[in-house]
Amino acid sequence: GLFGEAYRRRHEITVTGDEVPPPLTSFETTGFPSEILKEVLNAGFSAPTPIQAQSWPIALQSRDIVAVAKTGSGKTLGYLIPGFIHLKRSCKDPRLGPTVLVLSPTRELATQIQVEAVKFGKSSRFSCTCLYGGAPKGPQLKELERGADIVVATPGRLNDILEMRRVSLSQVSYLVLDEADRMLDMGFEPQIRKIVKEVPARRQTLMYTATWPKEVRKIAADLLVNPVQVNIGNVD
Ligand code: ADP
Ligand code: MG
């Protein structure tokens, strides 16, 4: 409605896609389950950030999404909370493999995402495992064996573990490519494509990126289906 339009103008949100739902401008109107709302309010947040406000209702419709917003805009919870709700709806056995898979360019970023997933998913009791290079595989494989609803991984290490056949991605139905531009800059495109081949085609795919160069557009065109695009501020 009109209020949604005004909110978008005020926060420089532009959307492209069919029948894009209006932004969820306050936590109270999100309809999030109480155990998730509880954690958000515990964190002391007063309102969704613009990328959250606009990407949540789209992600909750199970649609593919491309979100372009600069660093520090709150993208992590933009995809994690709809991921939690996806998990609650799907009721799968985590010992068969993760339902939510987040790809992230570096160990540091992957670890930060896991910390956020644990913090905001605590009351929902989701399990989350982080896989990254530069550390022994043993403990990561042990954690995987116990089962994880959510796996956050760098493409290199996940690909190694896939080649060892120590994880199955056949249950993944919510795939996030976080910092897609950085992953491509770091040369991870071949690993990303190999990983995505192991994920069922029937899935929701979300791509979060700070910039929108042609390499990122190309991989988005290949991996996402009829995505809604959300840009915050000027995107070239
Ligand atoms: P990005 O991935 O866009 O760089 P992050 O998801 O890392 O941004 O979020 C940046 C910081 O903002 C984090 O410390 C996060 O906890 C905080 N944050 C996220 N959502 C909100 C919110 N709605 N209100 C206030 N702070 C938030
Ligand atoms: Mg981020």
Instruction: Note the pLDDT tens digit of each residue in 1-51.
Output: 778 999 999 999 999 999 999 999 999 999 999 999 999 999 999 999 999
Domain of residue 123, CATH code? 3.40.50.300
The whole-number pLDDT of residue 89 equals 93
Considering every ligand atom shown, identify the ligand nearest to the alpha carbon of residue 76 and give its number: 1
52 CA to centre of ligand 1 in angstroms: 9
Residue-number span of the structural domain to which 121 is assigned:
2-232
114 CA to centre of ligand 2 in angstroms: 12
- For 74-139, give the DSSP string: -HHHHHHHHHHHHHHHH---GGG--SEEEE-SSHHHHHHHHHHHHHHHTTTT--EEEE-SSS-HHH
Q: Which of 4, 5, 26, 10 is nearest to 232 (CA)?
A: 10
Q: In testing the pocket of ligand 1, which one of 42, 49, 231 has its CB within 8 Å of the most ligand atoms?
A: 49
The whole-number pLDDT of residue 174 equals 98
Question: Going by CA atoms, what residue is nearest to atom 1 of ligand 1?
Answer: 72
Burial 76-104 (b: 16+ CB within 10 A, else e): bbbbbbbbbbbbeeeeeebeebbbbbbbb
112 CA to centre of ligand 2 in angstroms: 9
Q: In testing the pocket of ligand 1, which one of 11, 24, 37, 45 has its CB within 8 Å of the most ligand atoms?
A: 45
Question: Going by CA atoms, what residue is nearest to atom 13 of ligand 1?
Answer: 74
The whole-number pLDDT of residue 199 equals 98
109 CA to centre of ligand 2 in angstroms: 7
210 CA to centre of ligand 2 in angstroms: 8
Considering every ligand atom shown, identify the ligand nearest to the alpha carbon of residue 105 and give its number: 2
Amino acid 106 reads T
Q: CB 6: neighbour CB atoms within 10 A?
A: 11
Question: Going by CA atoms, what residue is nearest to atom 10 of ligand 1?
Answer: 72
Residues with CB under 6 A from ligand 1: 45, 48-49, 52, 69, 71-77
Residue range 93-140, pLDDT digits in tens = 999 999 999 999 999 999 999 999 999 998 888 999 999 999 999 999
Beta sheet of 204-209, edge-to-edge order:
13-16, 228-232, 65-68, 204-209, 174-177, 100-103, 150-153, 128-131
What ipTM did this prediction achieve? Answer: 0.99
Distances (CA, A) of 224 to 12, 35, 60, 192: 24, 30, 16, 13
> For residue 225, is pLDDT > 90?
yes
**CB contact at 8 A, 155 and 189:** no
Q: What is the mean pLDDT of the chain?
A: 96
Q: Domain tally for the chain?
A: 1
49 CA to centre of ligand 1 in angstroms: 8
Alpha helices in the chain (DSSP H): 2-10, 34-42, 50-60, 75-90, 107-121, 137-146, 155-163, 180-185, 189-197, 214-223
Mean pLDDT of 48-62: 98
pTM: 0.97
